């Protein structure tokens, strides 16, 4: 009998707790005043944290200068040797043609042994040999190569450039001699759209803005929220009458604003300091940045919900946020050149769409045929991250 009474009391207690919990949950409705208070509190915390301000405003400037000046895909002033073994006038004229190009930094020699050691040591990227019988080869037109090109294969891209450009110099010089090649009726002149000067800076700087936004959105959010879990202040916030939605929005809104301010600062530096044209509108650029902040902040919030420790959150943010954004977004490496499985993986990385959109806005303009699919993809990935983060936060609250 006592056992039955005890079970009945336990059932009544559980029902009472459920009624109290339901009444408490009823108070957790979205309230604008509570949201303003949470945003104000989080803004003060961000402004008082030097590391947050360094990541939001100093790090973008440093990265932009590095990508604009230290990182370059342009191949100019490549150091090569030109070994002139022939003393003929034609050989000297060809040597002068090599010296007259702005893409090569030429060092002349009369024996290939003078430059071979420099190629081994890395002081030269290759050398061109104008042989002793150059005049005979030129006169006979037997199809025998006029020159020999030796390159440093430890850097394949530069080696290909040296080989192809050296052959181009020889062909151009030979065409100017008045031979049959010069009387052709077809003249090919390349035209490069969107970046006529082929300056890598104009491609790297817009892409670097995406990397900066990924750092601010993902890493900064993961670190800040994980720090609160670590210090125990997050439990105090979760115990207030504020709803989960209010807590999430209140946490992320200040960092969203920081990200947008960083975008404006990075855009101003790109246009006025690094001379990158902004052919699209600033409004479209801000819309793209705002949409990209959704998956970036959502990923950071999800990381902090799963890892309540700053060190672990930083490591996860590095491997799941920064490195994929840097390596698999098309920022430095073309996606079409990647293996098929890796190409498929890039569809899940929001930075891929942001890099594409930024290059379009800066170099081509407001091309909505490109921008609209990118916006939809970033928004969809962002919604997924927020759904997962909200579920993880609710689970933490119930635990």
Average pLDDT over residues 75-100: 86
Question: What pLDDT does residue 20 have?
Answer: 36
pLDDT digits (tens, 9 = 90+) for 13-24: 444 444 434 434
Looking at the chain, list the stretches that DSSP marks H as alpha helix, in order from N- to C-terminal side: 2-27, 32-47, 50-53, 59-65, 89-99, 113-121, 134-140, 156-175, 201-214, 221-231, 233-238, 244-272, 282-306, 310-317, 323-327, 340-346, 350-359, 368-398
Within 10 A of 44 (CB to CB), how many other CB atoms are there? 11
Distance CA 327, CA 207 (A): 12
Residue 108 in this model has a pLDDT that exceeds 70: yes
pLDDT digits (tens, 9 = 90+) for 237-257: 767 777 777 777 887 888 888
Question: What pLDDT does residue 349 have?
Answer: 92
Only one residue has tokens 């002149």, namely 189
Residue 12 in this model has a pLDDT that exceeds 80: no
Question: What pLDDT does residue 380 have?
Answer: 94
Task: Give the neighbor-by-neighbor strand order of the sheet with 126-130.
Answer: 104-109, 78-84, 126-130, 148-151
- What CATH number labels 78-180? 3.40.1710.10
Residue 86 in this model has a pLDDT that exceeds 60: yes
Domain ranges for the chain: 32-71+198-398, 78-180
Residue 271 in this model has a pLDDT that exceeds 80: yes
pLDDT digits (tens, 9 = 90+) for 275-309: 888 999 999 999 999 999 999 988 988 888 788 78
Question: What pLDDT does residue 143 have?
Answer: 66
pLDDT digits (tens, 9 = 90+) for 312-327: 888 888 888 888 888 8
DSSP state of 183: G
Mean pLDDT, rounded, of the chain: 80
CA 126 centroid distance within chain: 32
Q: Are 94 and 170 in contact (CB under 8 A)?
A: yes
Tokens of 238: 């979760």
Question: What pLDDT does residue 73 have?
Answer: 67
* Residues whose CB falls within 8 Å of the CB of residue 165, separated by 6 or more in sequence, listed in order: 101, 103, 104
Residue 75 in this model has a pLDDT that exceeds 80: no
Q: Give exposure, 230-269, as e/b (b: 16+ Cβ within 10 Å).
A: beeebeebeeeebbbebbbbbbbbbbbebbbebbebbbeb
* % of residues, the chain, pLDDT over 90: 18
Tokens of 106: 């030429």
Predicted structure pTM score: 0.73
Question: What pLDDT does residue 83 have?
Answer: 92
Q: If pLDDT is split at 50, 70 and 90, which confidence band does 186 have?
A: very low
* Residues whose CB falls within 8 Å of the CB of residue 252, separated by 6 or more in sequence, listed in order: 221, 297, 301
Question: What pLDDT does residue 113 have?
Answer: 86
pLDDT digits (tens, 9 = 90+) for 192-223: 677 776 677 888 889 889 988 888 888 888 88
């Amino acid at each position: 009998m006592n056992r039955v009474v005890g079970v009945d009391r336990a059932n009544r207690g559980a029902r009472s707790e459920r009624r109290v919990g339901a009444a408490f949950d009823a108070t957790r409705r979205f309230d604008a005043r509570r949201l303003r208070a949470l945003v104000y509190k989080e803004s003060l915390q961000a402004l008082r944290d030097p590391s947050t301000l360094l990541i939001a405003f100093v790090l973008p400037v440093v990265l932009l200068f590095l990508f604009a000046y230290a990182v370059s895909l342009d191949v100019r002033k490549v150091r090569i040797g030109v070994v002139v073994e022939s003393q003929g006038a034609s050989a000297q004229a060809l040597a002068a043609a090599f010296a007259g190009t702005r893409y090569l930094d030429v060092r002349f020699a009369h024996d290939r042994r003078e430059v071979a050691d420099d190629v081994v040591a890395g002081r030269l990227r290759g050398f061109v040999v104008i042989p002793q019988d150059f005049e005979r080869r030129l006169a006979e037109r037997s199809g025998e190569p006029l020159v020999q090109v030796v390159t440093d294969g430890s850097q394949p891209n530069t080696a290909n450039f040296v080989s192809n450009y050296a052959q181009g110099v020889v062909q151009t010089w030979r065409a100017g001699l008045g031979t049959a090649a010069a009387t052709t009726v077809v003249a090919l002149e390349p035209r490069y759209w969107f970046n006529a000067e082929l300056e890598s800076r104009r491609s790297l700087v817009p892409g670097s803005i995406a990397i900066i936004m990924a750092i601010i959105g993902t890493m900064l959010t993961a670190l800040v929220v994980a720090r609160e879990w670590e210090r125990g202040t997050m439990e105090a916030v979760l115990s207030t009458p504020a709803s989960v939605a209010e807590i999430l929005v209140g946490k992320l809104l200040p960092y969203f604003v920081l990200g947008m301010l960083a975008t404006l600062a990075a855009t101003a530096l790109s246009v006025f300091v690094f001379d990158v044209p902004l052919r699209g509108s600033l409004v479209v650029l801000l819309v793209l940045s705002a949409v990209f902040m959704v998956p970036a902040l959502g990923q950071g919030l999800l990381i902090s919900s799963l890892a309540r420790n700053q060190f672990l959150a930083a490591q996860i943010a590095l491997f799941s946020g920064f490195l994929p954004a840097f390596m698999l977004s098309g920022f430095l490496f073309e996606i079409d050149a990647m293996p098929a499985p890796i190409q498929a993986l890039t569809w899940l990385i929001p930075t891929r769409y942001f890099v594409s959109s930024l290059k379009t806005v800066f170099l081509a303009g407001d091309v909505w045929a490109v921008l609209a699919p990118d916006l939809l993809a970033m928004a969809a990935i962002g919604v997924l991250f927020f759904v997962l983060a909200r579920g993880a936060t609710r689970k933490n609250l119930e635990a």
